[in-house]
Structure 1
Amino acid sequence: MTFRLIKLVCLSVIAAIVTAPAFGQTDPSFLLTGTAKNFDSYFPSYLANGYFSTMTSPRGTEPNMGYMVAFMDYAKGDISRPAAIPGWSEIDYNPGGGWLNSIRLDPKIFVDYAQTLDMHGGTLTTRYRFAYANKATDVKVTTFVSQANPHLAASQLSITPQFDGKVQLTFPLRLWSEHQPRFPIASMTGDEMIDAVIASGQTLQNKPVPTPDRAAVWYPGYTKVLSSDGDTRELTLWLDGKAEQGLSMAEAAAISLPAGIQVDEVKLEKGPDKLSLNLVVSVQKGKTYTFTKYIAASRQDWGGDAKADVTLAEAARKTGFDSLLARHAAAWNELWKSDIVVEGDPKVQSAVHSDLYYLLSNTTVGTAWPMGACALTPGYAGHAFWDSDSWVFPALLLLHPERAKPIVMFRDRTMEPARARAKQYGAGGTMYPWEADPQTGVDNTPHFAYGVFREIHVNADIAIAQWQYYLASGDDAWLKKDGWPVIQAIAEFWTSRVTYNKAADRYEIMHVTSPDEAYDDVPNDSFTNAAARKALEIAGKAAKVVGAEADPKWAEIAAKMYIPFDSANQRHLDFDASVPHDKITWMGSSLAWLMYPNLDLPMSAQVRRNDFAFQLQELKTHGDDPNEMMMVMLAVGEAELGDGKAAGDWIQRNLVGFLKPPFNVRTETVANNAGYILATSAGFVQGFVYGLSGLRIEDKGLVEAYAPVLPPSWKSLTLKRISFRGKRFDVVIGRDASGKATLTRHAE
């Protein structure tokens, strides 16, 4: 390929080791470091354990919003949205000339600054010398959200003042105000939404990094604090809260002081905006003082109340920071035993690790919660899209099946609202919504996006994921109890939704929204029809496994499903030829998604080449600021075509522009700053797990459906500790004596 789709702007992936990691030497590909050069372009990352989170900030001590899994605000007139929990990671310090968190970010004030995200250990460490008002203090901040103890987190501040005297410290729980303005998104049209945003003094236009450009719509929900208090003697804080018309939650903090420090004053501050323990202490020049804030958090149906959280926070304080951090790091180390190892390209390796880090930071085990489209942030209102089933789920399935399972369990848990929605639209079975509330499963698609109620391919995507989990796990009992009911009900939906064209003797699906969403209300979208056909075929197979009777219509409809095809050009069409294919969109075309690993529509090698060539041409001529969900999948398409160099070129293109500094946060497009979209990270990962490897999960096992490929400069690619049907093994793609890529499996 000689053309460029977009003007690429160089993005430097910084992975320098500025300070020695806490637990021995860490592979540099797991370390991302921000410097003072990033002060003006700092795109926040987050620390999370799948259950709750905190955003990051440059100083390491600022008030940051945090979120909790499926903890939603249900304000009247609005869609559901993640309720920001009281900010817990904030610590502030005043040596006498001003508060640390209030002083401008300036390299002359924050001297020798470095902030390192250690993805292998799940920690954020910030170091600098705070030099202001003729006083200097060496500062180190370390924060983590425990991977070993899901209710716990901690932030530790170490100060080394270069003076003698008294200093002030505060340890707040930040109580957020309700976001204003708040729009009635449940009823606003698109034009009304734009007008309301403009009237509020905001825009939905792309903005320079790091300003978020969708915050006007994807703002956080509100948690009302019902009761709060603290104890100056025990150095504890606690609160009980409730999301707007939603669930209850609680938080507690326990503060640990340096041994032997002289405490001159301790005060409890209780106000409408924060609950805080405020201290005045005496310090000596050159001596290091370490303060630790231990946090416990819970929500309704996951943990207890504030009293229980105080007990947890105090127990954490008794255990000690080093022990908690060691357990946390050990849990992360265990996760990284399953990994993707690239030999020959450090930048690609770093990007793979950052994408895996963001996926793993948002996973739970043994639950039935999905993953919000933008992780534990307010992006896309925290709703569950097909992103969970078709993007995140396959990326995790072979590496971490226990962390993929909650995604399929969520669809089983929320069958009833999907049944009710099917009845609402006059359909049978279950009709899962385009945007499902992660707690209730109820449809929460914004009114201004009303057209996507026709983007019904999500119902096939869900069935495919259920079957993929069964094939990978071999769990017959799970299939009968949990997977089969979902698959059966979705087959009933498609049976009711198709139209029989008697003249052509085929089944069609009318009035749908294409995955290339500018094409709304089109007949016979190829991706939708192909996915529906696969879902019906799956239902027949699943029925045999569980000993149920399959509806004969499933096989009949699948066999006669119409998938538009251009015989003259020997390629598929996006949808019926009656619909002009001429719009400027994020994707240009959706033909590449017919090759998507979970669907992988059977076709000849020539048709596959023709489809892909059309996709690239349309992306070039009808694509504008391409969506990263499309871009990351192009490497898979090239790999299926056997072109390792072209696949590598697409991988390289996805390192540039989409990854925002300093922590490789993927954004929806190069130009916009809608960040934290897990589907894009998962798509990049799938390019390695299913693209370069050629592996597919099929009825007969984990098969090599395509010959493996490697980019020319790479020595090897290893998928470490793949899990399939209870067995663990490594998949290694290397080269034979002639340089041809080969795939071997090595049992654990």
Structure 2
Amino acid sequence: MNDPTRGSLAPADDAWTLTTDGSLGTSGDESPGIGALVAHHPAFTGNGCFAARVPAAGNGFAETPVRTQFHVAGLYTGRDGGWSRKASLPAWSTLDVGDGSGTFNAAFTSPPGGDENVPDGGEQLVGGDWAPLTSPRAGAALGIERYRQCLDLRTGVITTEARWTSPAGRVTDVRYEVFTDRSRPTVAVVSVTVTPHWTGELLVTDALDERAASHTRTVERGAGDGRIWAVVEAEGSGVTAALVSVVHGPGSRGGGGPGHDGPLPARDGTASRTIPATASQTIPATASRTISVHTSPGRPLTFTKYVSVVTSHTADRPLSTARAHADEAAREGHARLAEDNRRAWQREWEGDIVVRGDALLQRRVRASKFYLLTSAHEDSPWSPSPCGLSSDGYNGHVFWDTETWIWPSLLAQHPRLARSALDYRVARLDAARAAAAAEGHRGARFPWESGLTGDEDTPGWVPFGDLELHVSADVALAFWQYWLATGDHAWLRTAGLPVLSAVADFWADRVTADADGRCHINGVIPPDEYAVEPKDDSVYTNVAARDALRFAALAAEALGVSADPRWAETADRIVVPFDEALGIHPEFTGYEGQTIKQADVVMLAYPWENPQPPEVTRADLEYYAPRTDEDGPSMTDSVHSIVLAELGDAEAAFEYTRRSVEPFVRPPFEQFAEDRAGGAFTFLTGHGGFLQEFLYGYSGLRRRTDRVVLAPILPGSLDGITLRRLRWQGRVFDVDIRHDGTTVRLHTGEPLPVETAGTLRQVPAGGEVMVATRTSTPYR
């Protein structure tokens, strides 16, 4: 029987699992085909520090339909006169099985050279590179039956099962399990349980497949003493990453379980650490080790691979550290690591979002939260890029996407994770100061695209790096929101105020005063990236700069220190353009109603909470929503939903909720693409915006220094929304929104001050209060 610590696949209707069978059918002349399987968007998992995209085979590397990449936080190339890039590791999940006539992984490989009859899906998926969806030739991929792959959102474990018939006609049941250990930031586990229905020699190959690596060079690889290893260096930066793998199986100690008996003879594919002598038997220029085991029909054999990935950011000797971590993981064994990983994820999932009345929407909400958590860890002072650790989309750079779209959905329930992203900006404050000084300004200007160093990493052929200056104010908003959420005076003094004051100094110096003393911000690009020529008085940029100046003054006041008087004076004089005839904010001076790429002016209402009448918020939305490109990025509709909920129209808000997810999510694992046609994938920006609709839209949650504000509302098609373990200044509380009322329950902390509909109430420690759920009213 199988190892009892390795559970069976969850049922397809489990609210916590995402499952595919690849729609296995027949292809051609009664031959089993895996076209749909090969073409699916592959699963992804990570522990916040490093991650893996897992192909249909359940392990290893695949080039199509989406290149499986393996990323670790902080592995960037040098700039080399241009811009840095995120580098990808070798594929550490490879643990292939074979019978001498073929291997399990090879059954999932599309035929070389393609075929004129193969359909081309033409979808742009990864990092701006076109990756068409293709299916293998009829009958070309044989031997896979009873296929199923499952991602357990509770633990990040990806399980793959199939019955494989080899080219020699031998039938084998195969079951893979892959997870990165959230309790051990450098450790991952791959296991395979093989049940042959034949007698002979089973070959199990452990490899660190360098075909997956990009923008790196291998400085060391080898095999010996039961391990394989590789050390790679990112091009031009000197940042190194070491990977060490240890496999335990029948007859080995540690990681045991039923079926673990017999010797482990092995053929090392790399005989030494020197690169010329390290060619793998199966994959050129790759460290590998092949284990040979005699089989008996029906007798399961389990092999477990313990992997450690360590970079030079965290260890002076990455290889020896990775070796120690891999060895320790192997000694602990699969059962212990799986349980520790489960417990670590369980702590994260205390902050759940429960959607009642729509099972599909519930799975998509949990999937979105899962993907955000895969790329954030309290022990990792790196900020997630638009694709997190899933790929090198947008070169793995950090944009306003983090602070504006991804980060708020972490802050609500996971402030310690949110802080790690802010630590990334704090560590690069000097680079932001240097950028401002290079342009002749005081203070700090954060880059539009940031990588390893915090220098401007925007490719030179696009204008955004020089002109999309609102990113500095977006950073300031995140810092201010963290202060409101935590009330952490020590953090505000050492990290918050230095960043807020530096950004304020920049804006106070960047404005241009006219003859009447009014301040303008000229020559910028607004969030609407179709406005690529320099514009004056972008209303978003001006409001964001004004508020960033005020945040710095308020932070200084909270700490009892003197604020630069220029901050408040400049803020009060910044122009906020408004068209009295149309009753709207023009996007910028000279805007004439042209199509915009993404949410811009509507964001004055949320997240900036610009003090304006609801009639103006409504007019802005009515004016700009139809002028927004339907083929724009996925997060725009989330803002429209949140603003509609604020205006009191839950039904229209829910229409935009569907619009914000349905065209963008990709089967079978509910991952966002950047836009309807594809684009960057997995797009955390979209996931983050989608989650904000529930955390801030339907709840109306807003933070103040001395209270939280709620304005709950619920669409008629939902039975309820429960936000579990929200956090504010030491309090932990739930908000349970129902049609007949909303309950606020305080689990821990001092009494919670809650304002609803202008009334302030106190939720007692360990108690609850009921507040009204607003009645939906059409906003038109």
What band does the TM-score fall into relative to the shorter chain?
A: 0.7 to 0.9
**Residue type at the aligned position of 1:251:** L
Instruction: Name structure 2 gaps, 5 residues minimum.
Output: 24-35, 62-67, 110-138, 251-259, 271-277, 749-780
Q: Are the counterparts in 2 of residues 642 and 708 from structure 1 also a CA contact under 8 Å?
A: no
Q: Are the counterparts in 2 of residues 84 and 176 from structure 1 also a CA contact under 8 Å?
A: no
The answer on 1:673 being equivalent to 2:679 is yes
- SS of the residue aligned with 2:355? strand
Note the C-alpha offset of 1:96: 3.3
Match of 2:431 in 1: 417
Equivalent residues in 2 for 1:524-539, closer than 5 Å: 524-539=537-552
Report the CA distance shift for 1:694/1:331 in structure 2 as closer, same or farther (over 3 A). Answer: same
| Partners of 2:328 and 2:640 in 1: CA distance | 50
Equivalent residues in 2 for 1:310-709, closer than 5 Å: 310-376=323-389, 377-437=391-451, 439-503=452-516, 505-520=517-532, 521-576=534-589, 578-582=590-594, 584-587=595-598, 590-597=600-607, 599-619=608-628, 623-704=629-710, 707-709=711-713
Q: Are the counterparts in 2 of residues 692 and 708 from structure 1 also a CA contact under 8 Å?
A: yes
Report the CA distance shift for 1:565/1:508 in structure 2 as closer, same or farther (over 3 A). Answer: same
Match of 1:192 in 2: none
Report the CA distance shift for 1:78/1:95 in structure 2 as closer, same or farther (over 3 A). Answer: farther
Note the C-alpha offset of 1:608: 1.1
Match of 2:204 in 1: 169
The answer on 1:156 being equivalent to 2:170 is no
Q: Are the counterparts in 2 of residues 264 and 282 from structure 1 also a CA contact under 8 Å?
A: no
Match of 2:104 in 1: 100
Q: Are the counterparts in 1 of residues 48 and 380 from structure 2 also a CA contact under 8 Å?
A: no
Match of 1:266 in 2: 267
Q: Are the counterparts in 1 of residues 9 and 159 from structure 2 also a CA contact under 8 Å?
A: no
Note the C-alpha offset of 1:54: 1.3
| Partners of 1:390 and 1:518 in 2: CA distance | 19
The counterpart of 2:162, out of the listed 124, 128, 135, is 128
The counterpart of 1:243, out of the listed 224, 234, 256, is 234
Q: Are the counterparts in 1 of residues 22 and 147 from structure 2 also a CA contact under 8 Å?
A: yes
The answer on 1:76 being equivalent to 2:62 is no
Note the C-alpha offset of 1:331: 0.7
| Partners of 1:511 and 1:78 in 2: CA distance | 24
Match of 2:752 in 1: none
Note the C-alpha offset of 1:624: 4.4
**Residue type at the aligned position of 2:694:** F
**Residue type at the aligned position of 2:404:** S
**Residue type at the aligned position of 1:256:** H
Match of 2:53 in 1: 55
Report the CA distance shift for 1:103/1:662 in structure 2 as closer, same or farther (over 3 A). Answer: same
| Partners of 2:10 and 2:525 in 1: CA distance | 52
Report the CA distance shift for 1:399/1:494 in structure 2 as closer, same or farther (over 3 A). Answer: same
Report the CA distance shift for 1:422/1:264 in structure 2 as closer, same or farther (over 3 A). Answer: closer
- SS of the residue aligned with 1:711? coil
Note the C-alpha offset of 1:427: 1.5
- SS of the residue aligned with 2:624? helix
| Partners of 1:75 and 1:565 in 2: CA distance | 42
| Partners of 2:298 and 2:514 in 1: CA distance | 84
Q: Are the counterparts in 2 of residues 73 and 221 from structure 1 also a CA contact under 8 Å?
A: no
Note the C-alpha offset of 1:325: 0.8
Note the C-alpha offset of 1:24: 8.9
| Partners of 1:115 and 1:371 in 2: CA distance | 27
Match of 1:715 in 2: 719
Q: Are the counterparts in 2 of residues 399 and 722 from structure 1 also a CA contact under 8 Å?
A: yes
**Residue type at the aligned position of 2:75:** F
- SS of the residue aligned with 2:173? strand
Note the C-alpha offset of 1:367: 4.3
Q: Deviations over 1:594-642 (max 9, x none)?
A: 1222x121211111111111122212xxx14121121222210110111
- SS of the residue aligned with 1:331? helix
Instruction: Name structure 1 gaps, 5 residues minimum.
Output: 1-18, 178-219
Q: Are the counterparts in 2 of residues 667 and 676 from structure 1 also a CA contact under 8 Å?
A: yes
Aligned residues: 671
Identity %: 32
**Residue type at the aligned position of 1:125:** T
RMSD: 2.1
The answer on 1:283 being equivalent to 2:295 is yes
| Partners of 1:525 and 1:299 in 2: CA distance | 42
Q: Are the counterparts in 2 of residues 428 and 496 from structure 1 also a CA contact under 8 Å?
A: yes
The counterpart of 1:30, out of the listed 9, 16, 19, is 16
**Residue type at the aligned position of 1:242:** E
- SS of the residue aligned with 2:679? coil
Report the CA distance shift for 1:36/1:367 in structure 2 as closer, same or farther (over 3 A). Answer: closer
Which TM-score applies when normalising by structure 1? 0.86
| Partners of 1:22 and 1:161 in 2: CA distance | 18
Equivalent residues in 2 for 1:207-222, closer than 5 Å: 221-222=214-215
Which TM-score applies when normalising by structure 2? 0.83
**Residue type at the aligned position of 1:374:** C
Note the C-alpha offset of 1:514: 1.0
